[in-house]
Amino acid sequence: MDIASLVSCFGSAACVVTQVTSGLIIGMLLFLVAAGLTLIFGVLKVINFTHGSFYMLGAYFALTIFKLSDSYVLTLFGAAFGTALVGLVFERLFMSRVYGQNMLMQLLVCYGFILIFDDVVKIVWGAEFRSMGMPALFQVPPIFVAGGVVPPFYLFLVGVTVVIGGLLWLVIERTRFGKIVRAVAHNPSMVSVLGINTGILYGMVFALGGLLAGFAGALAAPVRSLTPGMGFSILIESFIVTVIGGMGSIVGAFVGALLIGLIRTFGSVGFPLFTEGLMYLFMVLVLIAKPTGLFGKEIA
Amino acid sequence: MRHSFRRDMIIGAIAVTALVLLPLVWPNKAFIDFTIRGASFALFATSLNLLVGYGGMVSFGHGMFFGLGAYSFGLLMQRTGMSIPAAFALTIVVTAAVALAVGAICVRLKEIYFAFLTLAFQMFLYSLVILWVPLTGGDQGLRGGIPRPSFLGIDLADQRQLYIASCVLLVGGLILMHHIVESPFGYTLRMIRDNATRAAFLGVEVFRIKLVAFVLAGIFGGIGGVIMSLFVSGAYPEFANWTMSGEAVFIVMLGGISTFFGPVVGTVILLLLNDVVTRFTEYYGLTLGAIILLFALGLRRGLTDFLLDYWRRSPWVLAAAKRGR
């Protein structure tokens, strides 16, 4: 524990800026993964334990596409849509067979796929750490804000994620598709009686979750080292985010992700050994105070 | 109840005697090692089945107790130099205390939340093991071996004696757990699994029963970890990692959740499978994952569930039932 350095960090604008920006980076990536997780849970009432693997696949797709095309825009879209396709196939062919069954089976199907995805990554990309490198577009000198260093890529990452979060909110709250999704979450059999193919809708929700996770992976690829198994740690963290924000709530996922990001960065200054512990402690406090999460409604 | 307990004791005594005598007739080192590992996993998996099969609580973080048992036993032996029985007893106290704290937070939650939250707590323990290097040795694990001083003339550093001790712990643990599930407490637990609301109306304190079951399962899972740490003379982070919980869930499903011995059968199958798979391929995850999918999507239930169904539907049994009526 190192309270003194935490206090001195709050005393200097440079330190606060640096910690807040890296907290935002963690928070934004977490938000993209957690938004998909919470969306899938809200609609299908299953927790997609393979969601972290989608993030990992997105990052590795980005690695390959960037190497081949050298275009980061193409990389972002390719990784996102590639992972969306994986999500769609995974849901239609495997996950859809275990809905409404014992939860044990859902857990096992996901467990099997986490093992398979990790091994596939090992076979295709190797078991050692890989890194994509910063796209040339962002290889410019960092910006200084109040003495704190802010790499331009960080600004891009935060900006893009906020735009995507806004779009996602618009799609769910303001479009016909979003209305159907919300209706299915509420009462799937009624929606299918009204002539809407819920099976395809489930697949699309999984694809949307995969899209977000894959996009997060592609955004993370320049600033994180890639390794098989990188998906599992972000899975746990984004689950904590959704518990804090409330299962099924996208706004909750955003707030929860920002909170966890800031807790992680400031925690690593003040409590280097207990950073992870702080996250869990915060989650437990929220669960005790409000079991449905900060923005959750019905389910707990 | 007492009668069934006595019968269990007699069967258990026979089983232990048979297991102890077997290596005298068939001295095989691989078999001895296999049985020690099997005892560890079978206790661990059966304890998870207390929750999954009898309590309807699918925990995905049960590996935390396996890791906790292994680490606290190993640390007590390395740091304090106490005797093995004392460290064993203290480890049980530690696992029970942790299970009580985690369970108090988790058992109120609905099933999917319960599964993920137990997993989150396990990953917390795992991160402690990795980060607290001065105590746990970080990702290297507890190295330098665990001292295994003799007590009451028993020397667990000797593989043969460890084998006997593991068999005794396995059979004893199974008898205790069988007694638990056949007791009024066990039937209350089944009632909560089937209809928690009705159980509450009948005056059952659902939270307390579930919590007690969680603590009991934690204790037996911890004993599995103790056997493993004695066997490898150390403790490694993998013991506390989530894959441990995944394997336990798979064992329980593989063997079947509707019979008491399902997880024991599942343990034997998985360990044999492990040995075969690692001999033929380095892509363990890919192969195991495919086998898991085959079971979860193909057979859709455990092996003993399948056999039990088959037995109940066989013409012979149906005819016997008709005659009985």
Which ipTM score applies to this complex? 0.82
pLDDT at A300: 34
Q: Assign domain A3-289 one CATH number from 1.20.1740, 1.10.287, 1.10.3470, 3.30.310.
A: 1.10.3470
Confidence check: pLDDT of B302 > 80: no
**Domain spans of chain A?**
3-289
Query: Chain B residues with CB inside 8 Å of A38's CB?
Result: none
> How far is B109 from A173, CA to CA, in rounded Å?
29
Query: Chain A residues with CB inside 8 Å of B120's CB?
Result: 236, 239-240, 243, 280, 283
| Least CB–CB distance from A97: residue in B60, B132, B297 | B297
Average the pLDDT over B13-27 and give the result: 79
Residue A218 near residue A61 (C-beta atoms within 8 A): yes
Query: Looking at CA atoms only, how far is residue B233 from chain A in angstroms?
Result: 27
CA B186 to chain centre: 17
- Please name the amino acid found at residue A86: V
Cβ neighbours of B18 (radius 10 Å)? 10
As beta bridge partners, residue B142 has B235
Query: Chain B residues with CB inside 8 Å of A283's CB?
Result: 120
| Least CB–CB distance from B242: residue in A47, A232, A291 | A232
pLDDT at A297: 67
Q: Report the chain B residue with the minimal C-alpha distance to residue A45.
A: B112
Does B253 sit within 8 Å of A105, measured CB to CB? yes
Chain-wide mean pLDDT for chain B?
84
Joined together, the tokens standing for residue B267 give: 């343990």
| Least CB–CB distance from B293: residue in A104, A112, A273 | A112
Does A276 sit within 8 Å of B128, measured CB to CB? yes
Alpha helices in B233-283 (DSSP H): 242-255, 262-280
Does A277 sit within 8 Å of B128, measured CB to CB? yes
Confidence check: pLDDT of B223 > 80: yes
Spell out the per-residue pLDDT of chain A, length 300, in tens: 677 777 877 777 788 888 888 899 999 999 999 999 999 988 888 888 899 999 999 999 999 999 998 889 999 999 999 999 999 999 999 888 888 777 778 888 888 899 899 999 999 998 888 888 888 888 778 788 777 788 888 899 999 999 999 999 999 889 998 999 889 888 888 988 998 888 899 999 999 999 999 999 999 999 888 988 888 888 888 988 988 888 888 899 999 999 999 998 888 888 877 787 788 888 888 877 877 788 876 543
Disruptive mutation site among A93, A96, A97, A111 for chain B (greatest number of B CBs within 10 Å): A111
Does A119 sit within 8 Å of B289, measured CB to CB? yes
Read off the DSSP letter of residue B217: H
Average the pLDDT over B184-189 and give the result: 90
Does A287 sit within 8 Å of B289, measured CB to CB? no
Does A240 sit within 8 Å of B249, measured CB to CB? no
pLDDT at A299: 43
Does B131 sit within 8 Å of A104, measured CB to CB? no
Query: Looking at CA atoms only, how far is residue A50 from chain B in angstroms?
Result: 13
The model's pLDDT over A54-102, given as tens digits with 9 standing for 90+, comes to: 999 999 999 999 999 888 999 999 999 999 999 999 999 988 888 877 7
pLDDT at B138: 74
The model's pLDDT over B35-58, given as tens digits with 9 standing for 90+, comes to: 888 999 999 999 999 998 898 888
Does A287 sit within 8 Å of B288, measured CB to CB? no
Average the pLDDT over B267-279 and give the result: 84
> How far is A296 from A289, CA to CA, in rounded Å?
13
pLDDT at A127: 86
B128 CB burial (10 A radius; 0-12, 13-18, 19+): middle
